[in-house]
Structure 1
Amino acid sequence: MDAHRRSDTDDGAVRVALGFDSGRNRELLAQLLAQYDVIEFEASVPEETDLCIVDEGAFARLRDALTEWKADSQPTAAPALLVATGDETALWEEYGDAVGTAVDAIQSIPAPKRAIETRVSALLETREESKLATDRRNQLELYGRAMDGAEIGIIITEADGDYPVVYTNDGFLDITGYDREEVLGRNCRFLQGPDTDEQTRTELREALQSREQVSVEILNYRKSGEPFWNELEIVPVTEDGTVSHFIGFQRDITERKSRERILQRHQRIVQSVSDPILVLDPAGTIEYANDAAAQVFGAGTTDTAITTLFDEEQAGELMDTLMLALARDETHEQELTLPGDRHTYQFRFQPETLEGSRRVIVVARDITDIRRQQERLSVLDRVLRHNLRNKLNVVAGHAATLTDAPDSDPETIQSAGERISAAADSLLDIAEAVREFGDETSIDGQTGQQRDLAALVEQTVPRLEITYPDANVETVTPESAMAVCPDQIEFCLDKLFDDAIDRSGEASNITVSVIDRADVVELRVHDDGETMPQIERNALMTGSETPLEHTQGIALWLVRWAVEGVGGQFRVDAENGTTVTLSLPAG
């Protein structure tokens, strides 16, 4: 240690104060101690003095000042040296009562310069070490006050033996419920209990043995036996390169763990729900998506705007609904259709305050099947009512003819009966088609079946040719074309053929073809007869009927719904006749 400088807490050189009556001795000593900041004093000791040197002439009048200076400097040492002429032993006998209270050492003069320098250096080293010790003690006291006032638990243990506790703050006692006397000298494992995780115990034990820092969450027990979750961090304290102690910091996180368990339970519930659930910020950015949402909207939707999932028109409608829900702080709903798979979802926007911030919880429910069923019921209602009304009007009209003119000629009676029979047959055909279709299986929820459409066509067309011997039928098929087909695929092919015959006549030219396009397989039935009316094509292609746009029969609707049930598509084209195409997923 450099005794010629102050400690790190002070500025400037070491200050030596001289109190001398002998001007000659003062001058000689000042020259000898020129490396220090040498000052003179006549009464009280100047501030920032590190060492006082007085001669025997000045000692009598400065003794009280020295005593006061030494007392005021406590606990830091304030060394004072008495320089006097004579034998040192005699001097100690003469001034012995002042040693410790006014002076710390006596130097007889004359003496070699080296002896005086050594004595001064020793006293200054004592001063320096005392100041460092005081600083360290002040720091420890500060740390102690800080630890005692901390809300978290703090303990200090020895690093040897069974790691006994040598210090505990009030926070630790408050958390655990123990008294200080019950903690000191013990290993902290007394906080563990029957449900404390064994793996966590092992982790702590190995960290202590390795003299390493460790952080764990451990189930501990209070003195009352009540369990609590303890966030424990242990830090080794090193002195001279060796770990001498461990400091442990404890935080009671029972409430946080309880919230985490509740949150985890809620997350499991949310993740188990089949409906997509999103959490949006007020700007519409997706902050959270459950597994169902990730499957529907894509895995990378988090941190993206929800509007990117929809086309421009629907995105505008979505944001209008979102802003309305936030502005009115109430739930609002909006039906939107995903551009890719055309599935319709009912989005429910619920404003909430989560962790102090406004958020919107969005629950999307797939109502595609509901809307399809509604459309199908509407179609069935219109078609059946339209056909029933028309056919029953025919029946009623011709029945009236027979009733009103019972004596009509045989030709009139026969014509009326034939028309009544034809109308009845038409109604029976509709009923039979619905029955036959419904007996197969439900439309939606089908997994489909792997079928070779090329083989199916080659097997079915000859049977249809027997039914309609006057038709000119051509088939165009590859060697094989595997596709995912609805359970009613034979029904569909029969009805497409029947529809072509009904439209173009029994002597028409019909082409049944299968085209394998790798990802889809197309089944086409083309006839060169009268083109399907535009009104009927519009109804079939849009998937719904209106009072002005409707079809004459039910068969093609049943075909369309069967194909859509396995993810296929139905299309009608009018060019050189009529072509009905079923696009089915490749098998």
Structure 2
Amino acid sequence: MTVSEDASRNDTRSAGDASGDERILLAVRGARDRELLAELLDAYEVIVWERGREGEDRGAGEGEDGDEGAGEDPLPEFDLCIVDMATYSAVADALAERKADAGDRFVPVLLTVAQDEQAVAARRLDDVPDDVLAVPAPKAVIRSRVESLLQTRRQSLQLALYRRAMDSATVGITITEADDDQPLTYINDAFEEMTGYDRSEVLGRNCRFLQGEETDSEPVEKLHEAIEAGESVAVSLTNYQKDGTPFWNELKISPVYEDGELTHFVGFQTDATVRHALKNQLVHETQTLKQLFETSPVGIAVLNDDGIIVRANEAAQEVLGLRRSVVLGQSYDAPEWDLVDARGEPLDHEDLPFDRVRKTGDTVTNFEHGIEVGDERRWLVVNVAPLNGGDGERVGAIAAIEDVTAQKQQERERERLLDLFDQSQKIASVGAWEVDAQNGSVLFTSGLAELIGVDPGDDYDLSDAFSFYHPEDEPRVRAAFERLVETGEEQSLECRLETTDGETRWVNVRGVATQDIDAPVYRGTVQDITERKARSRELERYERIVETTADPIYTLDDNLRFVLANSATADLLGRDPDDLVGEHVSAVFGERHSQALLEAIASLLAGDSAEETIETVVAGQTGSERQFQTTIAAKSSEDEFDGIVCIGRDVTDLHEHERRLSVLDRVIRHNLRNKMNIAQAHATMLLEGTDDEDTRESAAAIERATSELLSLAETARKFSSALDPDVTERVQPQNVADCVRNVVEGARISYPAATITVDAPESAHAWAHSTFELAVNELVDNAVVYGGDEVEIELSVADDDGPEQVVVRVADNGPGLPPLERESIMTGRESPLQHTNGLGLWFVRWAVTNSNGSMDIVDNQPNGTVIELRLPRA
């Protein structure tokens, strides 16, 4: 029986209804026991299941429903299964699968046991059975147990129905516990869709995770008060989806009481974001319109259908020359305003735009008239539009009233003065031009005429004006002017201008479009930028040198002598940049670098490429050698080779890091592959072998291999900070003598059979990486691994032959380090055919290298290995 069939059969069953349709499956071996149970439970439909007859569904006495149990599921459908210990093992898996498939619907299983089977049954209570019944038992007890389990099933079916109803609801539904922090115990699908959270992410949490920085505290406080009082509450607040998207949540919470005790809260959540947005938009638009009305520089008046002013803003009061309290209630044609038309003739009521708007419903624009305000005649431009009510009926008109008195009197003069003023500022110390679009004539100001070397009074057309530009630049100037005419957008470009005396000047040409009375006019300026252009070119040359100041940048002449060098080059060499000028590159960076540059120059001159890159070893001011990658580009003057520009980059640490990563990659891949091959091989033996002794041996092999892998990973973890060769902040002064003594103290405890001695002064301070003590410990561990538990290990700390280094030696009498291992570690790399067995010695080498020290491996006499670590004295 599938879960859906189970749900369909039981969806409408009441939790308290003991239906005769309920099926009890008897999986009991004894025929007599089956008969007694079937007779005792005759109020239910009883089905018998017998081992070996899985294809049959048999009733208590007749074998009814004989085909229902056939198929993949050997068990027929049931509401309660009674199974004894003899049959349990045959049906346990099927029962477990049936219970798992049922989800939150309870599928009860009652296990009957004899007195001597109770101990075994007790262990199985954590498995499939829901109850254990010791038999024989009184009939009343059996019926009670059966009815109790069936009652629980009915309730689970009813709860499942309720849950499906809530899961299918279109509003978010949540259930929380009433105590503690009100953790969520249930959310439906709509809540998941609304918030973007999955059930597994929120169950057990308080709903406050939906709150955010814009959640108002007032509704939250209201929620807290209602929850504290155990009362219903409805609030609207801003919540946040999982991805951070805010939404308006209309939340209603109701308490749930059981036997008078508050146990839970049920929440109903509706996404009201759209409704709130529309509401806020309406409020915002209303406020915006009100603010626009009051702050508009244009007078606005609202008239009713009788032509009476019922509302006016501050600007209307100023335009009409009366206080707002006086304006309101006036008709627009009030006698005190003495309205006149554009000719100064009195205006009748019918001539005003308001009457026309009221009659036709059309908008009237740019209606000009005059009014008398005191002794002043004001000229107004009025735009009037109809106002309609909600039913579409006209209820009045709205008028925009603008005082254009000053504009009317000064419009032409103001436009000329403003244009002259604007152009005067733009053409200060430059020339100006103007093109009349109607006739194509061009006017030059005296400044431009002087720059070109012509008479400012001469007449020019566009063709003449363009001819003054350099032949190579004239097409660009023409194209810019055409764009100006076509788009009206400001144009600006740098180009060359040829004067009448043959001189070429660099200029910046700018043009704008303005509208004159009858046609557009194009005006602009021409600024001489010849000197600025020359300075710009000189600055660009220096910018190419210093644009990457972190790297050495220098230029060499055709004899490879320094011409210029940036500060990074000087810092590298510890010299002043001016001191380098004139020196040959071989005297500064060495003969190998000079020879590599010559080869690169030959390739450049051959035209193979525009630039070449070389890698050489360069000695800095401290004498330490660094690997540099240098990019070379040729300089040319009038198509002749004039030297090179060099940009260097220190790639020493990069290469070292790459080598370390290469080693780490090869070692890890090699070891993981080997160890996993072991694990896989022995795992196969575990799966296929039938001999217990072989199984134990295979398990031990797997355990050893995985232990080695874990040890390898742990070593890598401890030394992770030593992998980066560029990390210097971890190198600090340390008393390495104390570090060695600490290692010896721990090693004697870890390896009691080994003989471990130490010879170290009270203090020996050196610059060492933070992993140095781990490195020494790794050497001791390595000696024990190779030399056995009874190995003899001698550790010593001493000054080197000079005062600049501290030497730490670790010697053992073991079998010695394999030659392959020693060669790989000392060269600092592994080849594809050479693989070492571990990472320990590599990490030791890297820790010492990062300390600016060195590591050496030599043979011990008569046998064993000595590893020397040399560190800079602090």
Give the TM-score of the pair, scaled to structure 2. Answer: 0.36
Paired residues for 1:105-504 under 5 Å: 258=535, 262=539, 266=543, 269=546, 273-299=549-575, 301-308=580-587, 316-328=595-607, 330-338=610-618, 340-353=623-636, 358-406=642-690, 408-410=691-693, 412-438=694-720, 443-447=725-729, 448-504=731-787
Paired residues for 1:497-512 under 5 Å: 497-512=780-795
3-state DSSP of counterpart to 2:830: coil
One-letter code aligned to 2:643: R
* 1:526 Cα deviation from its structure 2 partner: 1.8
Q: 1:544 aligns with which of 794, 818, 829?
A: 829
1:374-401 deviation per Cα after TM superposition (whole angstroms, max 9, x unaligned): 2122112110111011111111222222
* 1:562 Cα deviation from its structure 2 partner: 2.3
One-letter code aligned to 1:331: E
Change (3 A) 1:354 1:522: farther
Give 1:556's aligned residue. Answer: 841
Q: How far apart are the structure 2 equivalents of 1:297 and 1:326?
A: 29
Q: How many residues align?
A: 336
Change (3 A) 1:288 1:515: farther
Q: In the alignment, does 2:870 pair up with 1:583?
A: yes
Give 1:50's aligned residue. Answer: none
Q: In the alignment, does 2:806 pair up with 1:530?
A: no
Q: How far apart are the structure 1 equivalents of 2:664 and 2:593?
A: 30
Q: How far apart are the structure 2 equivalents of 1:575 and 1:398?
A: 38
Change (3 A) 1:302 1:484: farther
Q: How far apart are the structure 2 equivalents of 1:404 and 1:501?
A: 37
1:80-113 deviation per Cα after TM superposition (whole angstroms, max 9, x unaligned): xxxxxxxxxxxxxxxxxxxxxxxxxxxxxxxxxx
Change (3 A) 1:439 1:539: closer
Q: How far apart are the structure 1 equivalents of 2:744 and 2:697?
A: 34
Change (3 A) 1:475 1:287: farther
* 1:421 Cα deviation from its structure 2 partner: 0.7
* 1:527 Cα deviation from its structure 2 partner: 1.6
Report if aligned partners of 1:307, 1:318 keep a CA contact under 8 Å in 2.
Answer: no
Report if aligned partners of 2:737, 2:761 keep a CA contact under 8 Å in 1.
Answer: yes
Q: How far apart are the structure 2 equivalents of 1:532 and 1:314?
A: 39
RMSD: 3.2
One-letter code aligned to 1:451: Q
* Structure 2: gaps (5+ residues): 1-449, 452-529
1:527-568 deviation per Cα after TM superposition (whole angstroms, max 9, x unaligned): 221221221112112211112222111122222222222322
Q: How far apart are the structure 2 equivalents of 1:478 and 1:564?
A: 24
Give 2:274's aligned residue. Answer: none
Q: How far apart are the structure 1 equivalents of 2:669 and 2:626?
A: 29
Percent sequence identity over matched residues?
Answer: 31
Report if aligned partners of 1:495, 1:556 keep a CA contact under 8 Å in 2.
Answer: yes
3-state DSSP of counterpart to 1:338: strand
One-letter code aligned to 2:672: L
Give 2:856's aligned residue. Answer: 571
Give 2:146's aligned residue. Answer: none
One-letter code aligned to 2:706: A
Change (3 A) 1:575 1:459: closer
Q: How far apart are the structure 2 equivalents of 1:437 and 1:306?
A: 42
1:253-275 deviation per Cα after TM superposition (whole angstroms, max 9, x unaligned): 966993698279638935x7111
3-state DSSP of counterpart to 2:700: helix
Q: How far apart are the structure 2 equivalents of 1:544 and 1:277?
A: 32
Report if aligned partners of 2:722, 2:843 keep a CA contact under 8 Å in 1.
Answer: no
* Structure 1: gaps (5+ residues): 1-173, 176-252
Q: How far apart are the structure 2 equivalents of 1:354 and 1:531?
A: 66
Report if aligned partners of 2:617, 2:625 keep a CA contact under 8 Å in 1.
Answer: yes
Change (3 A) 1:273 1:466: same
Report which structure shows greater RCO (CA 8 Å, sep ≥6): 1
3-state DSSP of counterpart to 1:420: helix
Structure 1 residues 359-368 or 437-446, which shifts more?
A: 437-446
* 1:303 Cα deviation from its structure 2 partner: 3.5
Change (3 A) 1:479 1:315: farther
* 1:312 Cα deviation from its structure 2 partner: 5.8
Change (3 A) 1:333 1:402: same
* 1:450 Cα deviation from its structure 2 partner: 0.9
Change (3 A) 1:289 1:583: farther
1:272-325 deviation per Cα after TM superposition (whole angstroms, max 9, x unaligned): 711111212233333333222123234265433333456766654443223323
